[in-house]
């Protein structure tokens, strides 16, 4: 039976999160956008309320404790839960997702690929008092979309791996206790040469370079990480040596990089929808407050038509995300749907934000408003977690299944 209603348990989570966003996060987010970070009070007061909630795209993560909301929701619809939550977070402040202490972007890879000892040690490291984060370092100055082409190299020396290279645009890269780092034994081997490591914060040879000053998404830290003869113990190779040996295992590193997209892409898509909805709601409220008096009716009709179009697109995008998540929860292959949700959501949300700024006229482009922030935040959702064009290549490969389609 086709039914597109959020189940009650997820509704409860949604309403709870929405309340939190509205009462606690929204009031802080505009200043955090200026400062480039949340105040300490955020971590003392708000973050603990969210502990146990895994937003790592439903692909695992979460501390040893687990539990929290994921348990409350029942494990059957983990991906859908993340999607429902993701929209509210996008609505409140998308940087919230990455500011929330926990394994974050580093979680899924370790959860799925790490040895039991690695999981024990590194998830354990994030528990206890104080806000702690992990990060995920794949992108380099020379390779973002084309992850097979990374140049950061690693060589084994005795009981250690030595890493040399540079990672850029790494979310939480400077404050992370540990980072999942991709390197290669030989760039010519492509994916087959790649190795994945957990690198701890103060490892000698790892320095933090530039912290980026960005157009939007400003309250989330984006850092450069520089590896110069950075030595990590052999046991920090994610999954252990054996995971990279033999013919079948040749692409282990790449699989580690890619396998979470099926849940993380809809998550990024829906956060984009949340941002678009935030801008839409600001616009709608503004129109109601400002348009009645001197408005000629035909003109209102024109505005109303645009509002309807925005609604249509947001709803369609939301449903694409729900579908991709529903497929993930039901064990149905969803690579194409995940890419569609990631491509469509942030794309139309960018349009919605631009329309909102336009219709609000001079008010729309005032700095320090939610709409201004939405306009600046949304752009990156079409870039990270696979750009718009990369989603298009994935979808094209599924669509044109009788001829070989290459990304190159």
Partner 1 sequence: MISFQPTDEEQQLLETVRRFSEDVVIPDAREADVRGEIDPSIRGQYCELGLHLLGIPESLGGIGEFTLTSKLLMEEVLANASVSHALALDSAGLGAQAIIRLGSEAQQQHCLPPVLEEPNKAVAFAVSEADLASHTGHFQTRAEKKGGGYVLNGEKLAVLNADRAEHIVVLARAESGSGFSGVKALIVEKDNPGVTVGSRQKFMGLNAAPTFEVIFTDCEVSSEAELCSAENIAQEIVQVLNIGRAINGARNVAVGQAALAMAVDYAQEREAFGKKICQHQGLAFFIVDKEVALNAAQALNYKAISRVTQGKDATQAACLAINYSNRAAVQATIDSIQVFGGAGFMKDLNVERYMRDARTLANVLGSEAEHNEVLGEYLYPAA
| Interface ranges with partner 1 (CB under 8 A) | 139, 143-146, 149, 168-169, 212-217, 290-291, 293-296, 298-299, 302-303, 350, 354, 357-368, 372, 375-376, 379-380, 382-384, 387-389, 392-393, 406-408
Query: Interacting stretch for ligand FAD, rule CB under 6 A, among 74-82, 142-150, 233-241, 289-297?
Result: 142-150
Our finding on whether 169 is near ligand FAD (CB under 6 A) is yes
Q: Is 71 one of the catalytic residues?
A: no
The minimum distance between CB 214 and partner 1, in angstroms, equals 5
* Cβ distance to ligand FAD smaller for residue 217 or 326: 217
Task: Tell me how far apart the alpha carbons of residues 77 and 74 are, in angstroms, rounded to a whole number.
Answer: 7
The minimum distance between CB 288 and partner 1, in angstroms, equals 13
* Cβ distance to ligand FAD smaller for residue 227 or 286: 227
Query: Interacting stretch for ligand FAD, rule CB under 6 A, among 78-86, 107-115, 139-147, 278-286?
Result: 139-147
Our finding on whether 407 is near ligand FAD (CB under 6 A) is yes
How far is C-alpha 375 from the chain's CA centre? 18
Our finding on whether 171 is near ligand FAD (CB under 6 A) is yes
Query: For residue 402, what are the CA distances in angstroms to 108, 384, 398, 399?
Result: 33, 29, 9, 9
Q: Which does 368 bind (CB under 5 to 8 A by kind): partner 1, ligand FAD, none?
A: partner 1
Q: Could you write out the DSSP letters of every residue in 72-139?
A: HH-GGGHHHHHHHHHHHHHHH-THHHHHSSBSGGGHHHHHHHS-HHHHHHHHHHT-SSS--EEEEE--
DSSP SS3 for 196: strand
Residue with tokens 């400062």: 35
Residue with CB nearest ligand FAD? Answer: 144
Intra-chain end-to-end CA distance of the chain, in Å: 41
Q: Which residues contact 47 (CB under 8 A, 6 or more apart)?
A: 99, 100, 101, 131
The minimum distance between CB 393 and partner 1, in angstroms, equals 7
Per-residue x/- mask for ligand FAD, residues 73 to 112, rule CB under 6 A?
--------------------------------x-------
DSSP SS3 for 150: coil
Task: Tell me how far apart the alpha carbons of residues 236 and 238 are, in angstroms, rounded to a whole number.
Answer: 6
Helix (H) or strand (E) holding 324: helix 297-329
Classify each residue of 291-314 as buried b or exposed e, where b means 16 or more C-beta atoms within 10 Å of its C-beta. eeeeeeeeeeeeeeebbeebeebb
Residues 220-259 that bind ligand FAD (CB under 6 A): 222
* Cβ distance to partner 1 smaller for residue 75 or 215: 215
* Cβ distance to ligand FAD smaller for residue 159 or 406: 406
Q: Which of 21, 30, 79 is nearest to 54 (CA)?
A: 79
Task: Tell me how far apart the alpha carbons of residues 87 and 72 are, in angstroms, rounded to a whole number.
Answer: 19
Query: For residue 364, what are the CA distances in angstroms to 167, 261, 359, 376?
Result: 36, 34, 7, 12
Residues 187-206 that bind ligand FAD (CB under 6 A): none
Our finding on whether 144 is near ligand FAD (CB under 6 A) is yes
Q: Which residues contact 96 (CB under 8 A, 6 or more apart)?
A: 21, 25, 29, 89
Query: Interacting stretch for ligand FAD, rule CB under 6 A, among 166-174, 201-209, 244-252, 343-351?
Result: 166-174
Our finding on whether 139 is near ligand FAD (CB under 6 A) is yes
Query: Interacting stretch for ligand FAD, rule CB under 6 A, among 64-72, 268-276, 348-356, 389-397?
Result: 389-397
Q: Which does 296 bind (CB under 5 to 8 A by kind): ligand FAD, partner 1, none?
A: partner 1
* Cβ distance to partner 1 smaller for residue 131 or 226: 226
**87, 140, 355, 385: the active-site residue:** 385
Q: Which does 171 bind (CB under 5 to 8 A by kind): ligand FAD, partner 1, none?
A: ligand FAD
Q: Which residues bind ligand FAD (CB under 6 A)?
A: 105, 135-139, 144-146, 169-171, 217, 222, 380, 383-384, 387, 389-390, 393, 407
Active site residues: 385
């Amino acid at each position: 039976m086709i039914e597109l209603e959020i189940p009650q348990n997820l509704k409860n989570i949604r309403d709870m999160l929405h309340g939190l966003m509205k009462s606690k996060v929204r009031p802080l987010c505009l200043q955090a956008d200026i400062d480039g970070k949340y105040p300490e009070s955020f971590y003392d007061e708000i973050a603990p309320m969210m502990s146990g909630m895994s937003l790592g795209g439903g692909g695992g993560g979460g501390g040893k404790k687990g539990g929290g909301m994921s348990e409350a929701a029942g494990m059957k619809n983990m991906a859908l839960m993340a999607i429902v939550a993701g929209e509210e977070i996008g609505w409140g402040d998308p940087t919230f997702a990455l500011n929330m202490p926990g394994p974050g972007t580093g979680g899924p890879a370790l959860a799925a690929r790490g040895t039991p000892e690695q999981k024990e040690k590194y998830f354990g490291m994030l528990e206890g008092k104080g806000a702690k984060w992990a990060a995920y370092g794949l992108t380099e100055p020379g390779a973002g979309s084309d992850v097979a082409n990374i140049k950061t190299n690693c060589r084994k020396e005795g009981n250690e791996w030595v890493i040399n290279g540079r990672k850029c645009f790494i979310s939480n890269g400077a404050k992370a206790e540990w980072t999942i780092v991709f390197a290669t034994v030989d760039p010519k081997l492509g994916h087959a040469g790649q190795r994945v490591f957990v690198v701890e914060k103060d490892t000698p040879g790892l320095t933090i370079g530039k912290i980026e000053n960005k157009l939007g998404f400003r309250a989330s830290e984006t850092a450069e990480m520089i590896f110069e003869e950075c030595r990590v113990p052999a046991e920090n190779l994610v999954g252990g040596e054996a995971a990279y040996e033999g013919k079948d295992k040749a692409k282990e590193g790449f699989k580690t990089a890619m396998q979470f997209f099926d849940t993380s892409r809809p998550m990024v898509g829906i956060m984009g929808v949340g941002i678009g909805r935030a801008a839409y709601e600001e616009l709608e409220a503004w129109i109601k407050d400002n348009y009645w008096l001197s408005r000629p009716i035909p003109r209102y009709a024109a505005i109303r038509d645009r509002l309807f179009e925005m609604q249509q697109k947001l709803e369609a995008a939301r449903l694409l995300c729900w579908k991709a998540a529903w497929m993930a929860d039901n064990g149905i292959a969803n690579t194409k749907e995940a890419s569609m949700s990631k491509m469509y959501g942030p794309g139309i949300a960018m349009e919605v934000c631009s329309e909102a700024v336009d219709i609000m006229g001079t008010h729309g482009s005032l700095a320090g408003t939610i709409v201004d922030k939405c306009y600046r935040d949304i752009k990156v959702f079409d870039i990270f977690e696979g750009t718009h064009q990369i989603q298009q290549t994935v979808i094209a490969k599924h669509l044109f299944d009788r001829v070989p389609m290459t990304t190159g």
